[in-house]
Every structure is written in structure tokens, then in C-alpha cells.
Amino acid sequence: MRPSGRNLSQMRPISIETGVMAHAEGSCLIRVGNTHVLCTASLEETPPRFLKGTGLGWVTAEYGMLPRATNTRNRREAAAGKQSGRTQEIQRLIGRSLRAGVDRVALGERQITVDCDVIQADGGTRCASITGGWVALRLAVNRLLKAGVITSDPIMDHVAAVSCGIYAGQAVLDLDYAEDSEAGTDGNFVLTGAGRLIEVQMSAEGATFSRDQMGQLLDLAEAGMADLVAAQKAALA
């Protein structure tokens, strides 16, 4: 039995509320169970310096957690004067994941920055950030299309992410913190709406895992993607 009482292949409740920030080109608040992330997309009409003259656009991301997103207060990284290695790793993952679903030629020489701020954490914050970040990005691109700034849609497919792991010897979908902290194997799967893999992060936290178990986790991730993409579509409808 999972601590939450969910079935092995059951996602936590998912909701995505759009238009939550008045000034951002795209924004949403995504809730996956008790993990809540505020995602905003901000447009700049100039690309990064290294892309000037290439005709290519850029999508990047920043990630952070509020001090009381967890059960104890974490010091603000700005106060510490530097980002943690974890923060840097997660925001690079978010940026890579979102860029994989974008035709950078169609985007043109401009940059969209997706900010993901964790309001409340209960496991799976990077996955919720990618899933909600895509919605914010989609909304920002919709503005460009509506204004006629670009004529071809640069977004090629949905992008979302979900965690899976081996908990109490069983493959489970969408780990919350109670499961994540005790999982023998932990994995994060980033996929497109068509089921194409963008990135897989898997590690043996307490015990090694077999190839068969890896396949079980991928099967669960593909099932979870259906729920995530449905939630993205509902939010944008």
C-alpha cells in the first residue's frame, strides 16, 4: 500500500490554472497533489549574444523554491550569494526539456525565459515545473502568433514530465515526498505528447534495478503522460 493510498499506476490530482500573473506573456499555477509551482514565460525580442545573426531563437529556464516550500525553512539562495548545484541542475533540465519541443528557426531571433518557482513541495517539483512551464511557454507563443510577430507555430508537441520509482519493491507512478525519500530507485521521465523520450534520469538510491524494472517504470511514465497532456489541453482550452 502506498502512503497516499493510491494505486501503483495512479497519478496525484493535477490542476493547471492559467493567467495567474498579470504582466507575464504566459503564466500558470500547476498543482500536482501537494506540489504547487508558479510558472511564468517572459519574452525578449533579442536572442542571447551567442545566437545573434544565426536566425535561431532560444528557450531557457530558471528554478527556485520559496523558503517555506518544505517543512523546514530553507535559506534564500540570493541571500547565500549563489545557487546550489541542485538548483542549477534542475533549471538546466527544464530548459533542455522545453527547447526539445520548439522549432527554434520558427521562433526567430528572440528568447523566452520560463521561471518556475516552487510554492509548496511534496516531491516531483522538477517534473511539475516542466509540465507547467510548457503551458506558460505555449501561452507566450500564442501571443506572438496572435500579434502576427511570427507566422509559423514553433511549438512542435506537448512536453511534460513525471517521476516513477521502485517503492517497497514495487514500481509506482508519480512519487510524492514520502515515497521519494524511501524509494530504492528514483526516475524522472520527460516525454513529448507523441510519447517520444526527451530525457530520462534514473538512479539506484537504495538498491540496484533490473532492465525489466526500468521497462516497468517507462510504461508507467507513458501512462502518466496521458493524464499530464490531458491536463495541459484542458488548461489551454
Which segments are annotated as binding site for phosphate?
86, 124-126
Q: Are 31 and 14 in contact (CB under 8 A)?
A: yes
Amino acid at 7: N
Give binding residues as ranges: 86, 124-126
Residue with cell 499530464: 228
Angle at 53 between CA 49 and CA 54, to 5 degrees: 95
Query: What would the 3-class secondary structure string for the chain be?
Result: CCCCCCCCCCCCCEEEEECCCCCCCEEEEEEECCEEEEEEEEEECCCCHHHCCCCCCEEEEEEEECCCCCCCCCCCHHHHCCCCHHHHHHHHHHHHHHHHCECHHHHCCCEEEEEEEEEECCCCHHHHHHHHHHHHHHHHHHHHHHHCCCCCCCECCCEEEEEEEEECCEEEECCCHHHHCCCCEEEEEEEECCCCEEEEEEEECCCCCCHHHHHHHHHHHHHHHHHHHHHHHHHHC
